[in-house]
Structure 1
Amino acid sequence: MSSESTPLLNGNGSHSHSDATFFQRVKTLIAAEEEPSWTQSYRFFIFGSYLNLFLLFVPLSVIAHKLNWDAALRFSFSFIAIIPLAKLLGEATEQMSAKLGQTLAGLLNASFGNAVEIIVGIAALLQGELRIVQTSMLGSILSNLLLVLGCSFLAAGFKFKESNFQVTAAQASSSLMTLACITLVIPAAYHSTILANMASDGAKNKLPLLFNTEPVDIDQSGLLVISRGTALLLLGVYVAYLCFQLKTHSYLFETEEPVAEAPRMSVVAAGVALLATTVVTSFCADYLVASIEETAERYSIPKPFIGLILLPIVANAAEHVTSVWMAMKGQMELTIGICVGSSIQIATFVVPLLVIVGWIAGHELSLFFANFEVNLFSFVLDGKSNYMEGLMLITLYLVIALAFWVT
C-alpha cells in the first residue's frame, strides 16, 4: 500500500502525516463516489421538509419591510420566516458534518450550531437594541435548559417510566454552565456595590438614592472592563472545552447513536446552501429587530418578554423538535447534548462573541444582567429523568414568562 493512503487508514492519527491527512480527507470528501449531485442535493434541501412551506414568508417579510406595512405584520412575517431558515441552517450543517469526521464535524457544529442566535444578536446589536441582545441570549439559555429539556423529559416519560443518560458528561457540562452563570453574577454584584456606595453618599447629603426620581447615572467603564475581559476569558474556556469534548476526553461523550443515514447533499452543495441561508437569515433577522420597537409600543408587549421568550422560541424551533423526537426514541444522551450543548455554546461562545463585536462596533454591550434575571438560572442533572421532572421544568419556564410579561 502506498504511503499516501496510509494516513487515511491510520486510526491512531500519526502526527507526522497530520497535514497530509487533512488535505487528503478534504479531497476525498469532495471527490467521493456516489456523492449526491447538485440537483439531488438541492431537491432534498428545499423539498425535504413540510416546514419549508413557511419559506413563503421570506419574500412576504421583504415586501412588508419595503412597503412599510403594519409593525405587527412585519414582525410576524419575519418571525415565521426565521423558523424554516433555522431548520435549513441546521440541515446544511448536519449534511456537511456527516462526512467530515468527529473533530471537523464538532467544530462545524460549534460554529453554526447557534447561527440564528448570532445573526439575530448582531442585528439587534448594530441597531442599538442592547436590551434585546441581553434578554434574547438569556432567553436562549433558559429555553434550552427549561422548556426544551422539560418537553423532552415529558415526552420521554410518556413512553418510558424512567430514562437514563451518561451522568459524567452531563456533570462536566453542568460545571461549565455553572462557571458561565457565575460570570454573569459578578457584573451584577459590581453594579449593586456601586449603587450601595451612591446610596451611602446620598444619605450623607440627605438625598437618599431610593427616593430619587431622576435616572441614576452610573459610570459604565468598570462594567465594560469586567465584561470585555470576562468575554475573552470565556472564549478561551470554550476552546478548551471543545478540545476536552472532541479530543482529550471524547470517550465521556460517546453515545449509542442510531445508524447514520447516507448524506443527502454533497459537501460543496451543503456549504453553498449554508452560506446562502445565512445571508437570507441575516436580512430577515434585521427586519425582525427593526419592527420590535414599534410592535412593542403599539400592542403593549414588553420588550423583555419579546427578547426572553419569543425570539428564543423561533430561533430554536427546529432544534426543539429534534430534541423531543430523540427523547421519544430513547436517545437521552443526544437530547442532553442538544439542550445543554446549545446552552453552553450560547453562554461561553455567543454571548462573549457579541460583547467583543459590540466593543469593535462601538456599542457598550456588557455582561450586566438585572439581579432578577441572574437568579433565574437553574440546572440540575442526576443522570435520570421522568415525566414529573419535565413537567416541573416547563412550569418554571411558564412562571418566568409570566413574570417577564408583567415586569
Structure 2
Amino acid sequence: MRVLRYLLIFIPVSLITEFLHFSQPLVFVFSALAIIPLAGIMGESTEAISHFAGNRIGGFLNATFGNATELIIAFFAMKAGLFDVVKASIAGSVIGNILLVLGLSMLAGGLKYKTQHFNQKVINVTASMLLFAVIGLTIPAVFTHTVPSQLLNTRYEGLSVIVAVIMLLIYVLSLVFSFFTHKDLYAVETAEEAAPKWSLKTAIIILVISTVFIGIESEIFVGTVEPMTKAMGLSEFFVGIILVPIIGNAAEHSTAVLMALKNKMNVAIEIALGSSLQIILFVTPVLIFLSLMFSPMSIIFNTFELVALLFSVLIANRVASDGESNWLEGVQLIAAYIILAASFFIL
C-alpha cells in the first residue's frame, strides 16, 4: 500500500492537465493513476471505521464501500450515456476478480507455499451465490434474444428493474446469512484483528474526502474515454471491460495478493469472489435504479460478455470445490484472463 501513496501526486497533476486542456489521452492516464491510490485510501478508512462499528456493521460497510470506486466511475459513465462502458465494466469486474485477482493470489501464494487451504464451506456458499447472480444476468439477455424483435416494446425495460429488485433483495439476505443466522461459519476470519491506524473521526473525514476526490477524478476520467479511445484506436468496450475494473479495484487486488502471501487464502479468495458477488447483487441494481434519473439502462449484456461471465463463475465453483489451491491453478486462471482480454481487445 505504501507504493500507492506515491501515486497521490497524480491528483493535482490530473486536475492541472484537465484545467489547462492537455491532450485527452494524457488526462485519461493521469486521472486513472489518481483514482488508484484514492480507492486504496477509501478502503483503509472503511477498515478503520469497521473496527469501531463492530463486525456486523463493519462487514456491511466493507461490502458497501468495497466497490464504491467502480460505482462512482460507472455513475458518471452512465450520466454521459456510455451504457456499453458501464455494462462492460460490470462484466469486466467479475471476470477480473475471478480470473486475474484469484489467479495472481494463487500463483503468489503457491510459489511460497506448496499447497494452501481455505474454508471450503464459506467459499462454496459465495461461489454458489455467484452462479445464481450470473444466471440472473443471463435470463434478460436470453429473453431479448429469443423473443422476436417486433414483439418487444418499452415494457421489457421493466424486466431489468424487476431483476435488479430481486438481486438487491438477495444481497440483503446474504448479509443476514453471513452476519446473523450463520455467522459461526465466518468466525474464523475475525480471529486476528489489528488495531486501527486512525481514530473514528479521522477515518470518517478521510473517507468523505477520498470519496469526493474519486467523484472529481471519475468525472474527468469518463470525460476522456471517447477521445482517448479514438486517439489510441481502442474500443470503449475494451476500456470498460479491462481498464476500468483494473483501475477501480487495484488497491483491493493488491490486498488479495498480500493475503495469499501471508497464507491467508480464506481472505484472498473471499476478496476475489465476494467482490464479484457485490458487483452483481449490489452495484448493478443500484446502477439500474440510478439510470432511471437519466435514461433507463437495461440489464442486457452481449453474448460474449455472458459466455465469459458464465465460464469464469464455473471456474470459480470448480476451484472452490476441493478446499485447496496451488500455483498451477493460479497460472491457469491468469492464462484464461489473458485469452479473454486479447479477445476483447480485437473487438
2:279 maps to 346
When the two chains are superposed, the root-mean-square deviation of aligned CA atoms in Å is 1.5
Residues in 1 aligned to 2:6 and 2:85: alpha-carbon distance in whole angstroms: 28
What is residue 362 of structure 1 aligned with on the other side? 294
Does the alignment pair 1:176 with 2:129?
A: yes
Q: Where do 1:271-310 residues align within 5 Å?
A: 271-310=204-243
2:341 aligned partner, one-letter code: A
Contact 2:256 2:271 in 1 (8 A): yes
Take 1:358 and 1:307, find their aligned partners in 2: how far apart are those partners? Answer: 17
The Cα of 1:366 is off from its aligned counterpart by 1.1
- Give the Å deviation of 1:92: 0.6
Separation in 2 of the partners of 1:362 and 1:70?
A: 29
CA contact (8 A) 1:255 1:334 kept: no
Q: Which moved more, 1:275-284 or 1:381-390?
A: 381-390
Is 2:49 the partner of 1:96?
yes
Amino acid of the residue matched to residue 157 of structure 2?
A: L
Q: How does 1:137-216 map to 2 (within 5 A)?
A: 137-194=90-147, 197-198=148-149
Is the partner of 1:255 in helix, strand or coil? Answer: helix
* 1:191-340 equivalence runs, <5 A: 191-194=144-147, 197-198=148-149, 219=152, 221-255=154-188, 259-340=192-273
Within-5 A mapping of 1:29-108: 49-108=2-61
Q: CA deviation at 1:185?
A: 1.0
Whether 1:398 aligns to 2:331 is no
Structure 1 position 312, deviation (Å): 0.6
| Cα distance in 1, alignment partners of residues 210 and 46 from structure 2 | 11
Q: TM-score, normalised by structure 2?
A: 0.94
Listed one character per residue, the Cα deviations across residues 297-316 of structure 1 (whole Å, up to 9, x for unaligned) are 12101111111111111111
Instruction: Give the 3-state SS of the residue equivalent to 2:196 in structure 1.
Output: coil
Q: What is the Cα deviation at residue 49 of structure 1? A: 2.7
Is 1:385 aligned to 2:338, yes or no?
Answer: no
For residues 330 and 188 of structure 2, the distance between their equivalents in structure 1, rounded to whole angstroms, comes to 22
Highest RCO, 1 vs 2 (Cα 8 Å, sep ≥ 6): 2
Return structure 1 stretches of 4+ with deviation > 4 angstroms: none
Indicate conservation of the 8 Å contact 1:97/1:104, yes or no: yes
Structure 1 residue ranges without an equivalent (≥5): 1-47, 202-217
SS at match of 2:308: coil
SS in 2 for 1:366: coil
Q: Which SS does the other structure have where 1:128 is aligned? A: coil
Deviation at 1:222, TM superposition (A): 3.8
Q: Which amino acid aligns with 1:92?
A: S
Match of 1:12 in 2: none
> Unaligned 5+ residue runs, structure 2?
none
The structure number with the bigger radius of gyration is 1
C-alpha distance in 2, partners of 1:270/1:286?
Answer: 24
Between the aligned partners of 2:155 and 2:344, the Cα distance in structure 1 is 28
For 1:258 and 1:312, locate their aligned partners in 2 and report how far apart those are by CA, in whole Å.
31
Q: What letter corresponds to residue 251 of structure 2 in structure 1?
A: A
State the distance in 2 between where 1:80 and 1:127 align.
21
Percent identical pairs in the alignment equals: 36
Are the structure 2 counterparts of residues 220 and 102 from structure 1 closer, same or farther at C-alpha, using a change threshold of 3 Å? Answer: farther
Deviation by residue 1:95-133 (Cα, 9 ceiling, x = unmatched): 111222111111111211111011101111111111111
- How far is 1:258 from its partner? 6.6
What is the CA distance between 1:223 and its match in structure 2? 3.5
| Inter-CA distance 69–386: structure 2 relative to 1 (3 Å threshold) | same
Does structure 2 retain, via aligned residues, the 8 Å contact 1:255–1:333?
A: no
Structure 1 residue matching 2:188: 3-state secondary structure? coil
TM-score of the superposition, structure 1-length normalised?
Answer: 0.81
Following TM superposition, by how much is the alpha carbon of 1:397 offset from its aligned partner in structure 2, in angstroms? Answer: 0.5
Distance 1:220 1:395, change over 3 A: farther
Q: How far apart, in 1, do the equivalents of 2:204 and 2:33 lie?
A: 24
How has the CA–CA distance of structure 1 residues 55 and 386 changed in structure 2, closer, same or farther, with 3 Å as cutoff? same
Aligned residue pair count: 339
